[in-house]
Amino acid sequence: MENNKITIHDIARILKIDSSTVSRALNDSDRVTQKTKDKILAKAQELGYQRNHLASNLRKSKTYTLGVIVPRISRHLFSSAIAGVEETAYKMGYNVIICQSLEQLERERNIVGTLLANRVDGVLLSVSMETINYDHLQGLKQRNIPFVFFDRHCNISDNSNVLIDDYQAGFDATEHLIGQGCKHIVHFSGPQNLEIYKNRLKGYLSALQIYDIEFRKDLIIESRLMEIDGVENAKLLLELPYKIDGIFSANDIAAIGAMQYLKQQGIRIPEDIAVVGFSNEPISALIEPSLTTIDQPGFKIGKTATTLLISQIHEGATKMKSETIILKPNLIERKSSLRKFESGNY
C-alpha cells in the first residue's frame, strides 16, 4: 500500500518553512518569492508530490465536476459531443459525470437529483424526447447551479444554449432536393415537443415556399425516434397518391428503418428517391454512400457548451447572463464518393 502520501506538510518540514507557504507556491500565488517558489516546486517535483484534490476542493467547497445528461451515450451525436465535453473539461480542471436519460423524463428527473447530490458545479444537458416540462430543473436554479442546453434544448426563458441552426439545416436540405429536381418531397419529422424538430420543419416549409413548391400536409410524416417507426413511415410514403421523388429526413433513426424498407421494396436511392438526412448516425450515410447529409459538429457542440458552462461557473451568481450560441450545420453532398474516414476528434 505504498500510496503516494506526500503532502504539503512533508515538503514544508523538509524545507523548514510553513505549509501555508508551500500551498501558496503550489498555487502560484504572487505572495511568495520566486526563489522560494522555485525551491518548493523543485522539491515537490523531486518527491513526486500530487495535490489531493479532495482536500483542496473540500476547502474551496467546489467539486470541479460537471454533470452531463444525454438521451443515449451510444448515439453518434452524443458520443461525439461527450468527447468534446471531456476534452474541454479536463483541460480546464473539471471532471465530468455522464448520465443517460434513455429518452425517459422520469430518469432525467432522477439524474438531476443524483447530480445535485454529487454537488456538481454545473450541468450540460440535451433533453429526452419525453421532456415537456422543466420542473425537474428547478432544483438547479434554486441552488444557483448553472446549466447549458446543447442540441436538444427547451424554450424556457433565461437559459443558455449551444445549438445548431436547425432551421437553416432544414432549409438547406430541402433546397438541395429541390435543386435535384424533386417535386414531391416527404419530410420525416420527430417529436414536436422538441424544438429541433419544429425548427427543421420550419426550414422545410420555408424552402418550399421560396421555391414555389406546393405544400401538401400529408407529405409530413412525424414519428418517434425508432427504426421501426421508420418502416411505418416508408409504408405511409408508398401509399401516398403522389410519386415521391425526395425525402428530407430530420429523424435520423427513423430514416434508417425507412431506407432499409424502401431498398427491400426495390426502390433505388437516390435514383428513384433522393434523400437528405442528418448524419447524427454515420449509418445513414453508409446505407447509401451517395447519400447527401447534414453533418452536425457534435465534437464542437460539446466543446463550445463546456466552455460556456465553465465561464458561467466562474462568473458565479453575479450576473449569470444567459447566452445562446448557434453553430452552422454542414450540408455534405456525396456523389457515390467514399466517405472519408474522419481521423480527427469526433
256 binds a second copy (CB under 8 A): yes
**Taking CB within 5 to 8 Å according to partner kind, which of a second copy, DNA, none is near residue 142?**
a second copy
Residues 83-102 close enough to bind a second copy by CB under 8 A: 83, 86, 90, 95-100, 102
What are the CA-CA distances from residue 291 to residues 39, 175, 181 (Å)?
Answer: 62, 15, 16
CA distance 293 to 309: 30
Of 30 and 158, CB closest to DNA = 30
Least distance CB 111 / DNA (angstroms): 21
CA distance 280 to 282: 6
Closest to 269 measured CA to CA, from 254, 255, 253: 255
265 binds a second copy (CB under 8 A): no
Least distance CB 233 / a second copy (angstroms): 13
Rounded to 10°, the helix 19-26/8-15 angle is 120
Least distance CB 175 / DNA (angstroms): 54
Q: What are phi and psi of 123, to 5 degrees?
A: -135, 140
Rounded to 10°, the helix 252-264/227-239 angle is 60
How crowded is the C-beta side of 253, counted as CA atoms within 13 Å? 16
32 binds DNA (CB under 7 A): yes
120 binds DNA (CB under 7 A): no
Residues 142-161 close enough to bind a second copy by CB under 8 A: 142-144
Of 185 and 310, CB closest to a second copy = 310
Least distance CB 169 / a second copy (angstroms): 21
Please list, in sequence order, all residues whose beta carbon lies within 8 angstroms of the beta carbon of residue 52, skipping any fewer than 6 positions away.
7
**Taking CB within 5 to 8 Å according to partner kind, which of DNA, a second copy, none is near residue 30?**
DNA
Of 4 and 74, CB closest to DNA = 4
Least distance CB 314 / DNA (angstroms): 13
Judge residue 303's burial from the number of C-beta atoms within 10 Å of its C-beta, 0-12 exposed, 13-18 middle, 19 or more buried: buried
Closest to 39 measured CA to CA, from 27, 52, 50, 26: 26
Residues 51-70 close enough to bind DNA by CB under 7 A: 51-52, 55-56, 58-61
311 binds a second copy (CB under 8 A): no
30 binds DNA (CB under 7 A): yes
**Taking CB within 5 to 8 Å according to partner kind, which of a second copy, DNA, none is near residue 33?**
DNA
**Which three cell numbers, joined as nine digits, stand for 289?**
454512400
Residues 33-52 close enough to bind DNA by CB under 7 A: 33, 35-36, 49, 51-52
Candidate residues 186, 231, 301, 308; the one interacting with a second copy per rule CB under 8 A: 231
**Taking CB within 5 to 8 Å according to partner kind, which of a second copy, DNA, none is near residue 277?**
none
Least distance CB 174 / a second copy (angstroms): 25
List residues binding a second copy (CB under 8 A). 1-4, 50-55, 57-58, 61, 63, 65, 72-74, 76, 79-80, 82-83, 86, 90, 95-100, 102, 114, 116-119, 142-144, 226-228, 231, 253, 256-257, 260-261, 263-264, 282-283, 286-287, 289, 316-317, 336, 338-341, 343, 345-346
List residues binding DNA (CB under 7 A). 5, 7-9, 16-21, 23-24, 26-27, 30-33, 35-36, 49, 51-52, 55-56, 58-61
